[in-house]
Amino acid sequence: MLVGVDQSRFDGVESLSVGLADSTWLAVVAFVVSTTRVRADVVADS
């Protein structure tokens, strides 16, 4: 019984870690895209 509880708890932590990794990756991609757009706008203006 205890093993089952520990396993489910570990699965929850694992899925949470994966979710955090996914959102971090999405944040990095969004940041790169936004900075690339700003640079493109600056180049277009000049």
Give the residue, 1 or 37, on which the prediction is more confident: 37
pTM check: above 0.85: no
pLDDT number for residue 42: 82
Query: 9-32: per-residue pLDDT in tens?
Result: 778 888 888 888 888 899 999 999
pLDDT number for residue 4: 58
Residue 37 lies in a domain: yes
CA gyration radius, the chain: 20
Question: Would you mind telling me the total number of residues written for the chain in this entry?
Answer: 46
pLDDT number for residue 30: 92
Give the residue, 46 or 23, on which the prediction is more confident: 23
Residue 1 lies in a domain: no
The range of the structural domain enclosing residue 24 comes to 7-45
Residue 2 lies in a domain: no
Domain count, the chain: 1
